[in-house]
Structure 1
Amino acid sequence: MKTIVLILLIVTIQSCNGQGKNKKEVSNKVNITENLIQLVKVNCNQENSDPPNYVLNCENFNISNTTIEGADKNRYELIMLIFNDIEKAIIRKINNEDLETSTPTIYFSNTSKNYVIFFPINGDNHFGWKLYLYKNKILYPLGQRVMYWKPEYEESNVNYSDILNIYEVNDHIILEIPDKYIIKNDNDYKNYPNYSDGKYYEKEDRLYYEFSTSKIEYYKKYKSGLFEGDYNKMINNNIIDLVK
């Protein structure tokens, strides 16, 4: 009899624990979309340049890019951010890289005073982003994502900046996008294992991608040999050699 009572007690405890865990998971998915503070899109003027190069003149800084053929026969993209008091740069090793970015959209937090830089990933039927945070004069690659347009939007003139919102909450950056544009579950995701950063949530007709800003590094290296990050910090900490 004691054995039966003990078994029933263990089953009851496990059941309660399971329910608590499920409630916590569901709660996280709901709460992540509450109390969000929306970032403001920064107005920038783009100078005429030959794609894929660009020059943006923003209120407090300029941003431009150039491709470098290094002395080591590797290809790099250098993205310069020039503020009044400091010059910073993002370095990307882009050898055999089939995912190219174009002119970024800049967002600013009136709360934390940080910038978020959204680099669109270009493609015929896929799209996505590389997301950077400029915090305490350091550039952090927050994460990246590849997704696929629904067929009716592949040939449309949908503008990234018109359909997405970026928020911050509790040491996280949240990217929100309507789900009507996106194939949410596509086997082609598996072709890009390095391009699915960030936690993913759904709520009503919106998709949310969450990126932590508390435990982040100033550079990323991939199994393919490619890398990207804060050029100044990578040089100063001997992560890479000076690109010549």
Structure 2
Amino acid sequence: MKKVIVIFILLFLLSCQGKKKYTKTGKETEKIEVYNKTITTENLVQLAKINCKQETSDLSNYILNCENFNISNTIIEGVDKNRYELITIAFYDIEKAIIRKINNEDLETSSPIIYFSNTSKNYVIFFPINGDNHFGWKLYLYKNKVLYPLGQRVMYWKPEYEESTTNYSDILNIYESNDNILVEVPNKYIIKNDNDYKNYPNYSDGKYYEKGDNLYYEFSMSKIEYYKKYKNGLFEGDYNKMINNKVIDLIK
């Protein structure tokens, strides 16, 4: 009889242990998922949008005149039969450039929106991605006279906004928080399920969060490089630094 009782107790304890382990694992997984989808917005510092005058209305070729600098771009047909986009940013004391290899690139950007941090004194350059149903960007940081590609993102407009006159700069806010830059987008405009963007594997940088009626895409300003190279052979980054460090040859 005692043996039966002992066996019963052992089985009961094992059963409880098994349930406890399963429940713990389930809760931990749930916490991770919730944590990855939430964000604290109390300490966000909003960046100011810089007013710039655009000389041309052409989406693919532009000249922007801003208070302290101007930005222009040109498409280069290289002697190596590759295509590049050179984006020149001319300040009073220095001229910098972004170079992009754009062969077989089906996502083009238009003239950028410029933001400035009164806290860190850095510029954030937001390049909108063009397209009837695409929504997204390439994001750059100008810090200590170096251009850093922070990341890029592609998503889709909701059908009711695909052919609307909705302007990127009217619906976006850019924030700084510690060592991160965050793009805030009202979720009513876009399809937010990341699984819909599998056709663009190189365009899913940044952490993704939700809070209230907004989506947040977070890009780190720490441990960043001045250039990026992608699996499809494309690259982009600070042209001057890439040339000086022999990452690429001078584009001719």
Moved more, 49-58 or 143-152: 49-58
Moved more, 64-73 or 14-23: 14-23
- Correspondent of 1:100 among 99, 104, 108: 108
- Correspondent of 1:234 among 222, 242, 245: 242
Tell me the residue number matched to 1:70.
78
Shift of residue 128 of structure 1? 0.7
Aligned partners of 1:130 and 1:139: how far apart in 2?
13
- Correspondent of 1:83 among 82, 91, 94: 91
Kindly tell me: are residues 89 and 151 of structure 1, through their superposed partners in 2, closer, same or farther at Cα, counting changes over 3 Å? same
Shift of residue 32 of structure 1? 3.6
Aligned partners of 2:198 and 2:17: how far apart in 1?
43
Aligned partners of 2:230 and 2:35: how far apart in 1?
33
User: Matched residue of 2:61: which SS?
Assistant: coil
Kindly tell me: are residues 190 and 8 of structure 1, through their superposed partners in 2, closer, same or farther at Cα, counting changes over 3 Å? same
Aligned partners of 1:163 and 1:9: how far apart in 2?
51
- Correspondent of 1:180 among 163, 180, 188: 188
Tell me the residue number matched to 1:44.
52
Moved more, 21-30 or 197-206: 21-30
1:189 aligns with 2:206: no
- Correspondent of 2:228 among 213, 220, 239: 220
Percent identity over paired residues:
77
AA at the equivalent of 1:61: F
Aligned partners of 2:93 and 2:243: how far apart in 1?
20
Aligned partners of 1:24 and 1:122: how far apart in 2?
34
Aligned partners of 1:51 and 1:158: how far apart in 2?
16
Shift of residue 28 of structure 1? 5.8
- Correspondent of 2:143 among 132, 135, 142: 135
Moved more, 153-162 or 214-223: 214-223
Could you give the per-residue CA deviations for residues 162-194 of structure 1, whole angstroms, max 9, x where no partner exists?
001010102011100011111122754111111
Quote the RMSD (CA, aligned, Å): 2.2
Tell me the residue number matched to 2:157.
149
Aligned partners of 1:28 and 1:188: how far apart in 2?
19
AA at the equivalent of 2:190: I
Query: Normalization by structure 1: what TM-score?
Result: 0.91
Shift of residue 12 of structure 1? 4.9
Aligned partners of 1:110 and 1:124: how far apart in 2?
34
Shift of residue 30 of structure 1? 3.4
User: Matched residue of 2:60: which SS?
Assistant: coil
Query: Normalization by structure 2: what TM-score?
Result: 0.88
Aligned partners of 1:123 and 1:239: how far apart in 2?
31
Shift of residue 205 of structure 1? 1.2
Contact 2:154 2:203 in 1 (8 A): yes
Aligned partners of 2:47 and 2:234: how far apart in 1?
30
Could you give the per-residue CA deviations for residues 195-243 of structure 1, whole angstroms, max 9, x where no partner exists?
1111111112111101111011111111111110000111111110000
Aligned partners of 1:208 and 1:66: how far apart in 2?
32
Q: Which has the larger radius of gyration?
A: 2
Moved over 6 A (4+): 1-4
Contact 1:177 1:208 in 2 (8 A): yes
Tell me the residue number matched to 1:202.
210
- Correspondent of 1:125 among 127, 130, 133: 133
Could you give the per-residue CA deviations for residues 74-133 of structure 1, whole angstroms, max 9, x where no partner exists?
110000011111110000001111100001000000001110000000011112100111
Report the number of matched residues.
244
